[in-house]
Structure 1
Amino acid sequence: MNATVACTQQWIRRYHPKPARRMTLVALPHAGGSASYFHPLSAALGDDVEVLAVQYPGRQDRRHEALIGDVHELADQVARALMPWAGPVALFGHSMGATVAYEVARRLADGGSPAAALIVSARRAPSVARTDAFHELDDEQLLKEVLLLGGSDAAFALDEELLRLTMPVLRNDFRAVADYRCAHPEPLAVPVTALVGSTDPRVTVAEVDAWRRHTSAAFSLHVFDGGHFYLAEHPGAVTEVLRSALAPHFSTET
């Protein structure tokens, strides 16, 4: 097994392999999130879209691996893991994953294989500066922040072992997001679709709309009722938006 294939197997989870796919969608999870978050979406998108869910180190089956606390390094590794994939590839990132997806898109473009589309969710544009320091909170305050975002069940607060295991991952990811700086702000020649919840407590519609500055191609904004994890409230509508964004770029090969 060569190094590139091994890297792909380490980073990518294929929950529903689709031999007849006409598009590959790379899905990148939120802070503290894992590849399994995208299992339902992988099934819902249909036989012509295969989802490659990215598994960051330090969680689930990679829980014994060292965490990566730098968005640029994450993007480097994900871009490398995608090298064996042929045909049109699009990127979808939620929250922190949107920032990682953007950086992966830049690397794919620089390598001569630009993404067919970039879909970003619940994350302010790279050009929107703000100072966040959630990683500096103590465990109790950080847990409150996670529950405010809706990214965890309330029972999480009662499970001390789960809390102990998850806090380092959350803190690492929040630090990576806080330290991130966009090094190359020139627009991508890739269409961008942006999604956001209308009552998201950590990002405004205007901050998400600012993604239009980062593409010289088409841009669209979709606002859903709900908060940071609006996706769970509108799975059908989100799936429809994703398919609409991807369909123009489907491979014509059969």
Structure 2
Amino acid sequence: MKATVMCSQQWIRRYHPKPERRITLVALPHAGGSASYFHPLSAALGDDVEVLAVQYPGRQDRRHEALVEDVGELADRITRALLPWVGPIALFGHSMGATVAYEVAQRLKEEGSPASALIVSARRAPSVVRADGFHELDDDALLEEVRVLGGSDDALALDEELIRLTLPVLRSDFRAVASYRCTRTEPLPTPITALVGTADPRVTVSEVGQWRRHTEGDFSLHVFDGGHFYLADHRSAVTGLLRDVLTPHMSR
């Protein structure tokens, strides 16, 4: 049990512990992203929703740990970290995090504790296979891809140390995504809510809509103005949507 708790502490960041929570939302970041991306969301969702932000190896306080280049292994280890948590759990993944969240949902189902809700953002459905090959780009091209997606700023272009620290993580995450293939044939019992930006340069509304094939429960698709990181421009609306999705699953 002690080892399980230590595993949970390694993978999970609790920015705003909420002892009165009625549901737990596990938030999984995008390629190159870190748990701190969800700090504002953790504060905004209110006292009855506690956000557990997942920290992948190789970034921030885990920067000295080996990167994980396999989505299935990430999902295995995150699922183990969630085992100590009791009560209803929902999953929210952005971009690469959506794919990881889907695999975690599959594992929670196999553990006999299916997620209450799966919320996926800016990521094509697991059944939609397209070879991007971003991990094979040279450094300049990889940085340009980050700028196209909008997950960077001018500081990244000027800070050589930041570039050096960021590129291996990005490349590793893109390699994990490129090698991922969905092997699941049965839909989840968990309802799925999908979110996407209208001007996302790397995923279409139609591709995100294919998530409906992966659930035998309810499915809804929500489209926002903006690109891959539309979340930054619609924080209030996204927070409200998440609350609407989570409320029916809250424990009494």
Instruction: Calculate the TM-score normalised by the size of structure 1.
Output: 0.98
Which segments of structure 1 move beyond 2 Å, counting only runs of 4 or more? none
Distance 1:154 1:108 in 2: 40
Residue in 2 aligned with 1:190? Answer: 190
Which amino acid in structure 1 is aligned with residue 201 of structure 2?
Answer: P
**Runs of 5+ consecutive residues of structure 2 not aligned to the other structure:** none
CA RMSD of aligned residues (A): 0.6
Distance 1:109 1:46 in 2: 27
Judge conservation of contact 1:147–1:154 (CA < 8 Å) in 2. Answer: no
Which amino acid in structure 2 is aligned with residue 211 of structure 1?
Answer: W
Distance 2:67 2:129 in 1: 25
Distance 2:154 2:239 in 1: 26
Deviation per CA, 1:95-127, whole angstroms, max 9, x where unpaired? Answer: 000000000000000010000000000000000
Which amino acid in structure 2 is aligned with residue 246 of structure 1?
Answer: L
Which amino acid in structure 1 is aligned with residue 148 of structure 2?
Answer: L
Determine whether 1:223 maps to 2:223: yes
Distance 1:88 1:215 in 2: 18
Distance 1:108 1:84 in 2: 12
Which amino acid in structure 2 is aligned with residue 145 of structure 1?
Answer: E
Give the deviation of 1:129 after TM superposition. 1.1
**1:14-25 residue pairs with structure 2 within 5 A?**
14-25=14-25
Distance 1:5 1:52 in 2: 14
Distance 1:77 1:185 in 2: 22
Residue in 1 aligned with 2:133? Answer: 133
**1:132-151 residue pairs with structure 2 within 5 A?**
132-151=132-151
Give the deviation of 1:185 after TM superposition. 2.8
Distance 2:179 2:167 in 1: 18
Q: Percent identity?
A: 77
Give the deviation of 1:155 after TM superposition. 1.6
Distance 1:166 1:123 in 2: 21
Give the deviation of 1:167 after TM superposition. 0.4
Which amino acid in structure 2 is aligned with residue 49 of structure 1?
Answer: V
Distance 1:111 1:223 in 2: 33
Distance 2:228 2:186 in 1: 27
Residue in 2 aligned with 1:207? Answer: 207
Instruction: Calculate the TM-score normalised by the size of structure 2.
Output: 0.99
